[in-house]
Amino acid sequence: MMRAAVVRFPGSNCDMDALRAAERAGCRAYFVWHRDDDLQQADVVLLPGGFSYGDYLRSGAIARFSPIMQAVRRHAADGGPVLGICNGFQILCEAGLLPGALLPNAGLTFVSRPVPVRVENVATPFTTAYRKNELVHFPVAHGEGRFVAAPDTIEELEASDRVVLRYADGGNPNGSSADIAGICSSDGNVVGIMPHPERVADPAIGDDPGHKFFSSLAAWRAAAPDEPITTPA
């Protein structure tokens, strides 16, 4: 069974949703505190949404210095899957694990609604269960979700197929460059997205198009048999 660590920062508020979504996909999921420095043999790390450290200074700017982020950095460097959702995406950018930055929405208002997105990269550990360019509706809930990066960075992301999610059908809610809703690292193991698949991952609250973000992990693991599988503690 895969072990999924959900990192809790002061101000995280999607941590329980992320934990439940991982559990429903068959993971042994557990919380780790931001002051911890040990991921407890995690196979996958989830950085949930919320307002870590009150979003002081800039979203994610302070969280990246948490002791646990050193462990997350090592996990990512070893090729371990990391998914940052919303505030988690902001933290990954501030930490330099993903390029670019997330700025206040172009319309200046907090946007909370389902938006259409396309899953463009289906090779990451979190997206193998989707069809390429599959259209799904995920909720967004953010005030600072406008993805920006230097033009050559955007070009490189596009050329190397590192745009994982893209707002579709004119549904860009925040003015993101190139309608980008989520990207991955050059190795594909670190993924950051603004929309919230974990909020639509259980049929009890309607449809569950986000479930595959978590169930993909099993297929990804099966396709990489040479990776050491952690024995549950």
Partner 1 sequence: MNFRAHIRVMPRDGLLDPQGQAVENALTELAFDGVSSVRVGRAIEVGVAADSLEDAEDATRRMCERLLANPVTEDFLIEVDPA
For partner 1, the closer CB: 127 or 172? 172
218 is a contact residue toward partner 1 (CB under 8 A): no
Distance (Å, rounded) from C-alpha 64 to C-alpha 225? 32
How many residues bind partner 1, per CB under 8 A? Answer: 20
104 is a contact residue toward partner 1 (CB under 8 A): yes
222 is a contact residue toward partner 1 (CB under 8 A): no
Residue 188: CB minimum distance to partner 1, A: 21
For partner 1, the closer CB: 96 or 170? 96
Return the sign of the alpha-carbon dihedral for residues 2, 161, 151, 165. negative
61 is a contact residue toward partner 1 (CB under 8 A): yes
Which residue type sits at 49? G
Distance (Å, rounded) from C-alpha 121 to C-alpha 82? 15
Q: Which one among 171, 175, 208, 221 touches partner 1, defined by CB under 8 A?
A: 175
Catalytic residue (one of 86, 93, 94, 184): 86
Residue 101: CB minimum distance to partner 1, A: 4
157 is a contact residue toward partner 1 (CB under 8 A): no
For partner 1, the closer CB: 103 or 178? 103
For partner 1, the closer CB: 84 or 99? 99
Nearest to 119 by CA among 97, 94, 136: 136
211 in active site? no
Residue 156: CB minimum distance to partner 1, A: 14
Distance (Å, rounded) from C-alpha 47 to C-alpha 86? 9
Is residue 60 within 8 Å of 93, Cβ to Cβ? Answer: yes
Tokens encoding 102: 């997330």
105 is a contact residue toward partner 1 (CB under 8 A): yes
Return the sign of the alpha-carbon dihedral for residues 154, 156, 162, 163. positive
107 is a contact residue toward partner 1 (CB under 8 A): yes
198 in active site? yes
**Residue with the two structure tokens 């420095």:** 37
Is residue 201 within 8 Å of 210, Cβ to Cβ? Answer: yes
167: left (phi over 0), alpha (psi -120 to 50) or beta: beta
155 is a contact residue toward partner 1 (CB under 8 A): no
C-alpha distances (whole Å) from 7 to each of 21, 37, 198 are 14, 11, 15
Interface residues with partner 1 (CB under 8 A)? 57-58, 61, 65, 93-94, 99-101, 103-108, 146, 148-150, 175
